[in-house]
């Protein structure tokens, strides 16, 4: 064993020598460093919260006052509009119902250009308001917004189910921060709107001479027989005649309209046949129950020729048929003769 | 036969001491020389002085850049409001608003082979009310600084000794809607110069 002690000691000695050399050689860095600092105070910063309020405007119908509660300026615009009835149910605005929004000094001036407009496509509960532009709403300076609803371009038939109802027009307004527009919030604004039908057309023979339809206007359709109810009382068959006239407008479709017996209101369409050559049509108790005339049981019925062209849009027969639909039995009874 | 009387013990000790004294005396005079040669040569040395490392900040300016409606015209525009010296909380800030704090830093970097790192700490937490941006603008022909090892840091050498830079820290109000209604109280904006 002793013969190995000398080499081992020699190696250990070399290693110790190398370690001393490495540890004592300067590496270019310093372990103690100089440093200096300076400081500047920065104020505390508090972010606001976007918001606005919608209030009524006294004495101005269909107008609201918007008040900015954000503490900074915002831009706003109406996003969409919808209708609800008195029971709170959603009502699809009829096609071509128009909504026009004005702001500021233009409020109440129906001749001024609307800031935003929306036109109902029909069969859709929500109507998008066109345009991406926004009006500004300053801090501490309220602004006025007005709404005009027009049903002038709506087909009379589409308006009739809503006639006389007081609907609520609900507009969803959106406010967006001015800077980057990344903060936004919405509010609802509701105004009442009563659907009014245009004056009912008088029968041609009741019109004054200057308003008589042209001589080319065809005759009114005429019921040819009493309504026929089958043995199971599930439907009634109505027949009529139509003479038309050479050169007169063609019939685009036939409609059956009903109203409660003994009333004078506008009738409600219950069936439509898009075949100008049709001369009969079947209606069921379900058709009658689908009208807004519940709980009526007795109905007066007429048939309408909807013309494709010409100055007279349609021609109605007299209330030629009387039909009874007792309760919700689903049965239908035919009564009386064509008048 | 006559025997020579032997010296006494005391006599022998005395004789030994005298011999030793004689030997020491002789030996002491024999070591070294009484006259020596000598010479002196002066070593040429240079004066040694320490360097310096410092940063001096000028008083800061604070401005608010804000988008708002001009009450006179109704037009939307961007303006700046000087808020230097205000200690109040800046309230109701909106996305797009920016609070800009500017200070001028003058560097003192003197020393052979001396390098350092200039670091700016906006002192606000990440993901909060505001998002900081740090910029460094050379003043009066100062050389641009090369980026340092970390964010908002630059490498400084002795070549920048005496140079001045505007340190611009922009605090952008967060676009995140969750930042609404929140408040941030930043610590002091700190500019540090540390030797590498």
Contact A257, A273 (CB under 8 A): no
Lowest mean pLDDT across A43-52, A165-174, A319-328: A319-328
Integer Cα distance of A166 and A190 in angstroms: 12
pLDDT, residue A110, reads 75
Question: How confident is the model at residue A26, as a pLDDT?
Answer: 55
User: Of B153, B93, B168, B83, which is closest to residue B129 (Cα–Cα)?
Assistant: B93
Q: What is the pLDDT of residue A217?
A: 43
Secondary structure (3-state) at A279: coil
A-proximal residues of B, 64-83, CB under 8 Å: 66-69, 71, 74, 76, 83
Percent of chain A with pLDDT over 70: 81
Does A44 sit within 8 Å of B180, measured CB to CB? Answer: no
Distance CA A315, CA A338 (A): 17
CB-based contacts of A112, cutoff 8 Å, min separation 6: A102, A106
Residue B17 distance to chain A (closest CA, Å): 52
Written as six digits, the tokens of A4 are 């190995």
The pLDDT mean for chain A works out to 81
Give the range with max mean pLDDT: A158-167, A293-302, A318-327, B58-67: B58-67
Could you tell me which of A225, A240, A228 has the C-alpha nearest to residue A278?
Answer: A240
Q: What is the pLDDT of residue A183?
A: 95
- The pLDDT of residue A84 is 95
Helix (H) or strand (E) holding A238: strand A235-241
* Res A219: pLDDT: 66
pLDDT of residue A68: 95
Residue that has been written with the tokens 């008083």 in this structure: B59
**B159 or B42, which is more confident?**
B159
pLDDT at A216: 41
B20 band by pLDDT with thresholds 50, 70 and 90: confident
pLDDT of residue B31: 53
Determine which of A38, A52, A115 to mutate to test the interface with B (most B C-beta atoms within 10 Å): A38
Domain boundaries, chain B: 52-195
Count CB pairs under 8 A between chains A and B. Answer: 166
The mean pLDDT value for A46-75 works out to 88
Inform me whether the pLDDT recorded for A213 exceeds 50: no
Helices (H) and strands (E) in chain A, counts: 3, 23
Beta carbons of A179 and B69 less than 8 Å apart:
no
Specify the range with the lowest mean pLDDT, choosing from A250-259, A326-335, B93-102, B152-161: A326-335
CA separation for the pair B170, A38 (Å, rounded): 18
Average pLDDT over residues A18-47: 80
Q: Write out the H or E segment, with its range, that includes residue A193.
A: strand A184-194
Whether ipTM exceeds 0.90:
no
DSSP secondary-structure letter at A197? P
Contact in structure between A142 and A67 (CB atoms under 8 Å): yes
pLDDT in tens, A218-262: 567 776 667 777 666 778 888 888 776 666 677 888 888 888 887
| Backbone angles phi and psi of A127, in degrees to 5 | -115, 120
User: What are A34's two structure tokens?
Assistant: 């100089």
Of the candidates A75, A77, A45, A144, the one whose C-alpha atom is nearest the C-alpha of residue A104 is A144
Which pair of structure tokens corresponds to residue B112?
């052979």
CB contact under 8 A, A45 and B88: no
Residue B155: burial class (beta carbons within 10 Å; 0-12, 13-18, 19+):
middle
Tokens of B134: 């740090």
The answer to whether the Cβ–Cβ distance between A39 and B188 falls below 8 Å is yes
Q: What is the mean pLDDT of residues A171-184?
A: 90
What's residue B136's pLDDT?
96
Contacts B79 to A, Cβ<8 Å: none
Mean pLDDT of B166-186: 95
Please state whether the peptide bond connecting residue A295 to the residue before it is cis, i.e. omega within 30 degrees of 0.
Answer: yes
Residue A330: pLDDT band (50, 70, 90) is confident
The pLDDT value recorded for residue B145 is 95
* CA–centroid distance for A101 within its chain: 15
Q: Round to whole Å and give the CA distance between A186 and B95.
A: 18
How high is the pLDDT of residue A273? 86
| Backbone angles phi and psi of B132, in degrees to 5 | -85, 150
Give pLDDT, residue A91.
Answer: 93
Does the reported pTM lie above 0.80? no
pLDDT of residue B102: 97
Higher pLDDT, B46 or A246: B46
Location of structure tokens 């109701």 = B92
In angstroms, the CA B101 to CA A42 distance is: 7
Residue A296 — pLDDT band, cuts 50, 70, 90? low
pLDDT at B1 over 60: no
H or E stretch at B120: strand B115-121
Task: Give yes or no for residue A180 having a pLDDT over 60.
Answer: yes
pLDDT at A318: 82
Q: Is the pLDDT of residue B178 over 90?
A: yes
Is residue A298 within 8 Å of A321, Cβ to Cβ? no
- How many Å is the maximal CA-CA distance in chain A? 147
- DSSP annotation string for A138-187: -TT--EEEEEEEE-TTS-HHHHGGGTT-EEEEEEEEEEEESSS---EEEE
At residue A56, the pLDDT reads 76
């Amino acid at each position: 064993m002793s013969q190995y002690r000398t080499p081992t000691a020699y190696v250990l000695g070399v290693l110790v020598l190398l370690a001393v050399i490495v540890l004592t050689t300067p590496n270019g860095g310093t372990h103690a460093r100089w440093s200096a600092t300076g400081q500047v105070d920065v104020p505390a910063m508090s972010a606001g919260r976007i918001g606005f309020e919608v209030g009524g405007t006294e004495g101005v119908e269909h107008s609201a006052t918007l008040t900015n509660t954000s503490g900074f300026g915002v831009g706003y615009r109406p996003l969409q509009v919808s209708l609800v009835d008195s029971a709170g149910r959603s009502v699809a605005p009829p096609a071509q119902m128009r909504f026009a929004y004005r702001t500021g000094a233009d409020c109440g001036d129906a001749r001024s250009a609307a800031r935003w407009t929306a036109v109902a496509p029909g069969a859709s509960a929500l109507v998008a308001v066109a345009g991406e532009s926004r009006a500004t709403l300053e801090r501490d300076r309220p602004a006025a917004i007005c709404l005009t609803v027009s049903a002038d371009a709506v087909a009379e038939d589409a308006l009739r189910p809503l006639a006389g109802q007081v609907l609520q027009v609900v507009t969803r307004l959106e406010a967006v921060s001015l800077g980057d527009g990344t903060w936004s919030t919405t509010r609802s604004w509701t105004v009442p709107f009563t659907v009014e039908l245009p004056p009912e057309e008088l029968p041609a023979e009741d019109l004054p001479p200057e308003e008589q339809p042209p001589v080319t206007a065809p005759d009114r359709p005429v019921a040819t027989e009493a309504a026929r109810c089958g043995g199971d009382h599930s439907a009634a068959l109505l027949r009529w005649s139509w003479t038309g006239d050479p050169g007169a407008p063609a019939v685009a479709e036939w409609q059956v309209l009903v109203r409660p017996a003994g009333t004078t209101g506008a009738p409600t369409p219950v069936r439509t046949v898009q075949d100008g050559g049709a001369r009969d049509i079947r209606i069921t108790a379900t058709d009658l129950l689908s009208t807004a005339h519940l709980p009526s049981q007795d109905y007066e019925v007429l048939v309408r020729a909807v013309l494709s062209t010409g100055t007279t849009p349609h021609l109605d027969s007299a209330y030629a048929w009387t039909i009874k639909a007792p309760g919700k039995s689903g049965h239908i009874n035919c009564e009386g003769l064509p008048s | 036969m006559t025997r020579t009387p032997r010296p006494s013990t005391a006599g022998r000790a005395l004789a030994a001491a005298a011999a030793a004294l004689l030997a020491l005396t002789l030996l002491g005079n024999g070591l070294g020389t009484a006259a020596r040669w000598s010479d002196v040569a002066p070593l040429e040395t240079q004066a040694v002085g320490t360097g310096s490392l410092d940063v001096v900040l000028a008083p800061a300016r604070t401005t608010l850049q804000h988008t708002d409606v001009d009450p006179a015209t109704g037009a939307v525009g961007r303006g700046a409001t000087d808020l230097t010296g205000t200690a109040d909380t800046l309230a109701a800030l909106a996305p797009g608003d920016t609070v800009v704090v500017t200070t001028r830093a003058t560097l003192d970097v003197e020393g052979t082979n001396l390098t350092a790192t200039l670091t700016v700490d906006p002192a606000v937490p990440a993901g909060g009310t505001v998002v900081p941006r740090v910029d460094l603008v050379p003043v009066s022909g100062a050389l641009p600084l090369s980026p340092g090892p970390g964010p908002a840091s630059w490498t400084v050498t002795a070549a920048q000794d005496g140079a001045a830079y505007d340190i611009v820290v922009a605090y952008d109000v967060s676009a995140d809607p969750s930042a609404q209604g929140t408040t941030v109280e930043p610590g002091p904006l700190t500019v540090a110069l540390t030797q590498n």
